[in-house]
Structure formats: structure tokens, C-alpha cells
Structure 1
Amino acid sequence: MKTILKTFNLYCLSFLFLAAMNACQNDDTAFPDEEEQEQEQDSNPESITAIISDGLHGSWNEGDPIMLVHDEQTITVQAQEAGSSSILSGTIEGTFTDDNPLFGIYPADNKVSSDNESLTVTIPATQTGNESGYDEKSVVAVARSTSNSLNFQTVCGGIKLNFQMSGVTGIELESVDGYALSGTVRIKWDEHGKPIADKIENANSIITFSASDKSGFTPGKDYYISTLPCDVYGGYRLSIYKDGLVAHYFSVHQTIERTAYITPNDLLESELEFDDPDAPLVEEERPELDATTTALLRQYQQSPTEDNKQALLNQMGLRYDKVVARKKAKLRELEREAKTPDLVEEMQGIVDEMVENRDTRLEQQFLRLIDPRNDEDPNDAWMVLRGASAPNAYIGYAPVTNAEYAAFKGGFVYNAGEENYPVVNITIAEATAYCDWLTTQDNAHIYRLPTDEEWILGAGHMPKDVTMNADRVESGLTAVDAYNQTTGACGGIDFWGNCWEWTSSTDAAGSYIIKGGSWDSSRDDCRSEKSDVVRTGTQGYANVGFRVVRTDVSSAR
């Protein structure tokens, strides 16, 4: 019996030993060593998360296309869920470092190229206001990361519009300074991790924004035109298309920053003037006072404090800069369409002068505005010279004529029928003598030549499309009232073209400044602010006449 039990125990021990050996073999199959585990993990990298942190596209939609870029690899993946954060449908292999990061671009199609420091993407110049109120392809967001988490930030800012009127089918946005609003842009990241435009190619200063429906934009709905960050302080143009017509609106003193969508400062739909789209852009020369300026002027007149003066000047500056913006837009139009460079050069000179002399012009306009005088005799030959510092200054309605000069100088001869032509071939001394003669006949007033500044005050800014005898439209001089439909700021006539006019101002060399151009001058030379044309005062010239200023004898105004 003992022998049988012993034999049975041996069999049991053998069975347990074999079972243990088999279990060990099974353990080797189920649990690989550490090296095998690492290899398996490398072949199955972690998923990538995309987070949206700013911009119009505030959250992902399932299926949004995103491009991943790393180490010359590109792959298009999709957001797998809606929300501000989403796991992506694919991944990209590699080790992400500062020198070789992982990039992300949304929308995926906007990617152009990349290197280890930057991405190059496109901001489209043609956009459509879709159901969301913007063009999804224009709302470009980028990300840079050294981990499996991508934080997307927008590249763009732009302009937000909301029309109450119906029928608006399209908008054209232009930087009047010609700055880039769209194009192919290389993006880098600043020290705060924010994307910045480093270099722009194929730049466009105009963006067209169209309604997705032929009936136009939905009234009362917000729409967004996306642009590169841009300084539009100098002005931008909005051309608003409605019912086959177009209205132009200009705004100044604004800046488009990344993530920000500005709204036009004072766009009033009721004040938009619609015209044929093929009609030339007309520059607004002397806009009438608006309600805001009128109120500030009245406030200053009632209480002439420095604060009230500055408030009025600021409003005047805003309106002045809008006029300049229109001229810049005209310059850009000429650059695109003009057949001769002379037109572009002329307009560039006008814009440059207006920008350079902005403060002087504003001061002159301010002095005109606050001058309380009324014309003592609207039917005489003298016009109130508003803004002049001289006591109760008036300026001649027109240049001195042959007939007027002949009344002073006996034996003066002129051609028959030209009594109302401006007297020319007169020296400074002869013009001064005529003024002195007028003074001797009037105990209450002094007569003299105007200074350069006084002449500009009387003339005001020359309208761009003014009708005048210049640029050889006539074969010579004409009567001073031949173009009397054109008036200066004071209400006088014949300030521009026909004949130059002497002033009492001189340049550093002692030559006398002449103003206003003549029949054989270019239109550009006729501009009021042009003060670099001089003549020798001891000589008379066939195209130089003069105008007279009258002031009170008393030093009190």
C-alpha cells in the first residue's frame, strides 16, 4: 500500500511540474519584455488634440479640415468632434522640438509652404459672406507646438458690417495707402507665442466681399471681412454695391489688429450716395459742415477755451483726413488705370502736399470758421478775408484789371476789348504804387499786396476738377470773370489760372512768390499751396498780375 501511495505522489508531482512549465511558457507569450513594449508604443503614437483659442472660428465643427506639418511631412486630418477642443482623426510621427516643431493650419487648403521656423499661408482677396457671416476660407488660424497639443490662433482681423437696408450684394474694401489686406504671408511667432506676419507677397490692398445669395446680404445680420492686421489710420474705402449702383464711404483713424474686427466710425446708410459703378470717383473738396462740427463750433464760440478749441480741431482733422483719404483713393485708381504717368505724378504731389501741410491747413480753416465777420457790402469788390491776422482784412474779388489800372496810371494802353482782362507786365514797385494810390483816396483803409498766407486764405484749397484757364485750354489771357463759376474760399474769382499773382512774400534769395498759375501753367502749378514759384520783383511778366488786400487803418479789429 505504501508503494502504491508513493508511486501516486510521484505522478502528482510530475503533473504539477509539467503544469508549472506550461504556465511559464504561456507567460512568455502574454507579456513581452520592456524593449518589445517600447517598440509597440513607438508604432502607435499618441493622438493629437487641436484647441481653438481666438478668432471668428470660435469652435471646431466635426469634419473641419486641418493640415499638420512636421519635418517636411504634411497630412490632412479632421476634427472628430465639435467644440473648442477636438481630437484629430490622424497623427504625424516624429519628435517635436523648438528647432523642429509641429505646425497646424486651418483651413488646410490655405497652406503654401513651411520650414522649421515659419508657415506660409494665403489670405484670399475674394471672399463670400456665407451663412456664418464670413468666408470660412479667409479665417486662417495657425498653431505651433512641441507637444501633441496644438493651440490654434487666428492670423486675421478685419471689418464688421451690419446693413439695415436690403439689396446690398457686394462690398469692396481698400486701404487707400495701398497697404496689404491680403496675400501670401509668412507667419512667425513672437516672444509671447502669438502669430505675426513676417513677410507678405502677392499683396492686395483691395478685398471684394460678396453676398452668397443674389438677393444680397441679410439686413440686420453681422458680416465680417477678414484681412491681415493693417494700419488703416490714413483711411480705407468701402464701396457698397446695391441694386446695380455703388456708394463710396471713407473712414480714417482706425487700425485693424489681429483678432479684432473694427466697425466704421460713422457710416450712416441714409447719407450714402449711390451712382453708376462706371462713374469716376469724385473727390470731395469742400464738404459742408456736418452737425457735429457745427455743434462744436457753436460750443467754442460760446466758450472759447483751449479744450473746446482742441475738440473742434480734432473734428475738423477727422473731416480733413477723410478728404485726403478720398484723394488717396483717386491716386490708387489712377495708378491702376491712368495711361500717362503725369496724372499719377500730379495726384501724388497733391496728396503729399495735403499730408505735409495738414496742421497749417487746419489752422487756416479754424481761423476762417471762428471769424465772426459778415461782409459789410456784398455788392462791392471786396471779400472778407476770413482768418487773416491783419485788422479787418478784405481781399479783392478779382485780380486788378486793365481798366482799373488805367484809372491810376495815365497813358496806360491795352488792347481794345480787354478792359476786363487782368493787368500784367507789372513790377512789384508798380503794383505797390497802385495800392498806395488807393490808400490815398480812402482815409479808413490801407491797401497793399497780399502775403503768401493771405492769398491762400482767400483762395482756399483748389478743387481737383476746377474749371479754369490753365493748361493751355485757352490761347492766352481771358477776362477775369470768364470762369466766374469757380470761386475761392472767400467767394472771389479767378484765383487759379489765367495769370499768376504777385505776393509781398519772398524766398530766401529775395525773389517774390507768385500764386495761382496762369493760362500756360499745368494744373498742378495752380494749386493754392504751391509756394515755390518765384519771380524777380523788378521785372514785369506777360503772365503775372496782382490782387489787392484792404485792411483797416486802426490796429483794433
Structure 2
Amino acid sequence: MSKKYLLTGISILTIFLTSYGQSKNLVIQMVKVEGGKFLMGSPDENKIAENDEQKQHEVTVGNFEINKLEVSVWEWKQYCKKTKKKMPAKQVWGINDNYPITNITWNEAIAYCNWLSKQDGYKPAYTVVGPNIICDFTANGYRLPTEAEWEYAAKGGKKSKNNIFSGSNISNDIAWQQNNSDKKPHAVGTKLANELGIYDMSGNVWEWCYDWYNKDYYKSEDGNNPTGPIRGEKKSVRGGSWDSKESYLRTSNRISTTPNRTYEFYGFRLARTAN
């Protein structure tokens, strides 16, 4: 066994002992991401890119934090126990505490963010106003990352090596995907991390972002901490999953889904504004 994989195994064990221990409260490992400028989307000459990834444009994001791991089944179980909510339907692969939680709607992910913020003594980021959910980006509570934050973190932030996927140009090093997953998700953090020490931003499960989706948004996007269109019908989803072809694992790839839908390959990770 190489030193690289031995060290990775030790670090993953540390993550599991921290995140899945017997403490009363959840222990969330957040990675501090120093803000900066980056090129969001794909260049015109990229023949693999979808139309909604263009045009490539410069974006500035502020400092923020993002979860090292996707939210797990174990973490969601604790939420359900304390709020008396039902767990999602059991999948064919069973219930594994270390797997990412799936079959969660965007709205359910938002509710979890606010609940966990209150548990940890933070100001919730989300307010429900009639049918609308408003995000206060000045609040210190947990929230979903914006598309810009997600892509910046997936690309490695200021440590970016301009990889095709999050952390490597070789997808099997960093992603559970269609050709290696055995048709199921896997324990979070079991592939290699990216430049910022974040796991599974390519593959394992697709991740909900905050933004409303618009296929033409990049053509008119404000490049300063963009938070997406004001309104829409679908939410942006990023990263690819255990059921995805390799092209969907690229850090610039985008898809979208209505916020009330669930899928066995959709999950999420947390973010916070860094004060």
C-alpha cells in the first residue's frame, strides 16, 4: 500500500471518529475557504461542455466555510430523532450510517440547515416568507452553498491546480461514479480529497445548491458574490453521483431539478458565511 493511500485511510478514520462519535451534538467539520477570483464555467473551446456552462466568466467570492463531507445518513438520523421526522424510504442497498443521505428535497435540506444552526447557537440563514425562502448571507448559520461558492471550492479555491474534476484529472481517484460504484453510493470521504481537503465534490451524490437555475444566467451574471436568479422553477445541482457518466463529474457541469423532488442520487453539503 502506498504512503498516499495509507495516510488517506488514517485521515478518513479520524473524520469518522469525529463525525460519528457518541457525543450529544453533531460535530461538523467545516473547511475555511479563502475567497478570491476565479473563472466560472467552461471556455468556448471545451467541446465536452454543455451550453449552460458558458460563457466562462470571472467571479469573485468572499470568505466562506464548506463541509468537508457530504451530510451523512447518521447525521440525518440524529435530525429525525430530535424533530420526530421520518427517515427517507430505505434504498435497495440498505441503510449505512456512513453513506451520504439521499432522497432529500431542496426544501428539506433548507429545514435541516436552520435546525442545525439553532442547535449550534448560530443565527439561521433562512426565512420562510409565504411560498418563498429568503437567505440572509450575513447570518452565521448553516446554508447551502451558492453555485459560485460550490464551484470555487470544488476547483480548489486559491490552491486550484485547474483539474478537470474536483482534485484530480483522473476521475477514479476522487469520485464514485457509474463505472466503479457497483450501482450504489459509498461511505463519505473514502476517495481522495481535493486541494482544499474536501471530499466527494465529484461523484457519490449530486449536491443541492442555493441558486435558482437559469441556463442563460452566465451570459448576464453579476460577477461579485453571485447568488443566482431572483426566481425560477428549478434549483441548481452540482457534482455528479455514483450513477453519473464521467462528463457529469466535471467541476463546471450543471444540472437542475425542482426543489420538491427527491432522487436516490441527490444529497447535499453545508456551507456558512465566514465572519
TM tier relative to shorter chain: 0.5 to 0.7
Aligned to 2:181: 474
Q: Which has the higher contact order (CA 8 A, sep 6+)?
A: 2
Aligned to 2:154: 459
Aligned to 2:261: 539
Shift of 1:530: 1.2
Which of 396, 401, 422 matches 2:67? 396
Which residues of 2 match residues 181-260 of structure 1 at below 5 A? none
Matched AA of 2:169: K
Runs of at least 5 residues in structure 2 that lack an aligned partner in the other structure: 1-35, 123-139, 156-162, 215-231
The separation in 1 between residues aligned to 2:186 and 2:111, in whole angstroms, is 25
Structure 1 SS opposite 2:74: helix
The separation in 1 between residues aligned to 2:50 and 2:148, in whole angstroms, is 20
Matched AA of 1:491: G
Aligned to 1:349: 48
* Structure 1 residues 436 and 354, CA gap change in structure 2 (3 angstroms): closer
The separation in 2 between residues aligned to 1:470 and 1:459, in whole angstroms, is 16
The separation in 2 between residues aligned to 1:549 and 1:355, in whole angstroms, is 25
The separation in 2 between residues aligned to 1:513 and 1:352, in whole angstroms, is 15
User: Contact conserved, 2:99 with 2:187, CA < 8 A, in 1?
Assistant: yes
Question: What are the superposed Cα offsets for residues 78-100 of structure 1, whole Å, 9 maximum, x if unpaired?
Answer: xxxxxxxxxxxxxxxxxxxxxxx
Runs of at least 5 residues in structure 1 that lack an aligned partner in the other structure: 1-308, 318-323, 329-346, 365-387
CA RMSD of superposed structures (Å) = 3.1
- Does residue 490 (structure 1) correspond to residue 196 (structure 2)? The answer is yes
User: Contact conserved, 2:50 with 2:253, CA < 8 A, in 1?
Assistant: no
* Structure 1 residues 470 and 446, CA gap change in structure 2 (3 angstroms): same
Aligned to 1:504: 210
The separation in 2 between residues aligned to 1:433 and 1:503, in whole angstroms, is 14
* Structure 1 residues 495 and 406, CA gap change in structure 2 (3 angstroms): same
- Does residue 514 (structure 1) correspond to residue 216 (structure 2)? The answer is no
Shift of 1:417: 6.1
Shift of 1:542: 0.7
Shift of 1:428: 1.0
- Does residue 433 (structure 1) correspond to residue 140 (structure 2)? The answer is no
Aligned to 1:299: none
User: Contact conserved, 1:456 with 1:528, CA < 8 A, in 2?
Assistant: yes
Shift of 1:443: 3.0
Matched AA of 1:431: A
- Does residue 446 (structure 1) correspond to residue 130 (structure 2)? The answer is no
Identity level (%):
27
* Structure 1 residues 544 and 353, CA gap change in structure 2 (3 angstroms): closer
Structure 2 SS opposite 1:471: coil
Aligned to 1:412: 87
The separation in 1 between residues aligned to 2:51 and 2:94, in whole angstroms, is 44
Question: What are the superposed Cα offsets for residues 332-354 of structure 1, whole Å, 9 maximum, x if unpaired?
Answer: xxxxxxxxxxxxxxx73259999
Question: What are the superposed Cα offsets for residues 130-152 of structure 1, whole Å, 9 maximum, x if unpaired?
Answer: xxxxxxxxxxxxxxxxxxxxxxx
Matched AA of 1:402: V
Question: What are the superposed Cα offsets for residues 403-429 of structure 1, whole Å, 9 maximum, x if unpaired?
Answer: 011111125376766101000000111
Larger radius of gyration: 1
User: Contact conserved, 2:101 with 2:267, CA < 8 A, in 1?
Assistant: yes
Structure 2 SS opposite 1:348: coil
* Structure 1 residues 448 and 473, CA gap change in structure 2 (3 angstroms): same
The separation in 1 between residues aligned to 2:77 and 2:54, in whole angstroms, is 43
Aligned to 1:373: none
* Structure 1 residues 539 and 417, CA gap change in structure 2 (3 angstroms): closer
Structure 2 SS opposite 1:443: coil
Aligned to 1:262: none
TM-score, with structure 2 as normaliser: 0.58
- Does residue 551 (structure 1) correspond to residue 246 (structure 2)? The answer is no
> Which protein is richer in strand relative to its size?
1
The separation in 1 between residues aligned to 2:250 and 2:94, in whole angstroms, is 31
* Structure 1 residues 355 and 439, CA gap change in structure 2 (3 angstroms): closer
User: Contact conserved, 1:457 with 1:489, CA < 8 A, in 2?
Assistant: no
Structure 2 SS opposite 1:534: strand
Structure 2 SS opposite 1:349: coil
Shift of 1:482: 2.1
The separation in 2 between residues aligned to 1:497 and 1:474, in whole angstroms, is 10
Shift of 1:527: 0.9
The separation in 2 between residues aligned to 1:536 and 1:351, in whole angstroms, is 20
The separation in 1 between residues aligned to 2:271 and 2:149, in whole angstroms, is 8
The separation in 1 between residues aligned to 2:204 and 2:146, in whole angstroms, is 20
Which residues of 2 match residues 85-484 of structure 1 at below 5 A? 348-349=47-48, 356-357=55-56, 359-360=57-58, 363=59, 388-389=61-62, 392-410=63-81, 411-412=86-87, 418-444=96-122, 445-460=140-155, 461=163, 462=165, 463-466=168-171, 467=173, 468-475=175-182, 476-483=184-191
TM-score, with structure 1 as normaliser: 0.30
* Structure 1 residues 433 and 354, CA gap change in structure 2 (3 angstroms): closer
Shift of 1:499: 0.8
Shift of 1:490: 2.5
Matched AA of 1:434: Y
Question: What are the superposed Cα offsets for residues 440-470 of structure 1, whole Å, 9 maximum, x if unpaired?
Answer: 0233431111111111111115232132211
List 4+ stretches of structure 1 deviating above 3 A.
Answer: 350-356, 413-417
